[in-house]
Amino acid sequence: MTYALEIVALECFKNQEVDGDEIVIKLNDKVLFHWEDTGYRWAAELKLEDWTNFYNFRTNKMRTQAGEISVPAYEDYGFVLRGLKGQTQITLWESDEGNIFRGDDDELGTLLVSEASAANEYQTHDFTGEGTHYRLTYAVVSG
Please give the DSSP secondary-structure letter assigned to residue 21. B
CB 49 within 8 A of CB 56: no
Residues 6+ apart with CB under 8 A from 141: 3, 4, 6, 118
Are the C-beta atoms of 43 and 15 separated by less than 8 Å? yes
Distance of alpha carbon 57 from alpha carbon 76, whole angstroms: 11
- Per-residue pLDDT of 9-63, as tens digits, reads 999 999 999 999 999 999 999 999 999 999 999 999 999 999 999 999 999 999 9
Reported as a pLDDT band with limits 50, 70 and 90, residue 96 is: confident
Domain boundaries, the chain: 3-142
Across residues 69-89, what is the average pLDDT? 95
Does 104 have pLDDT greater than 90?
A: no
CA distance 125 to 141: 16
Residue 77 confidence (pLDDT): 87
Class of the CATH-defined domain 3-142: mainly beta
pLDDT in the model for residue 78: 84
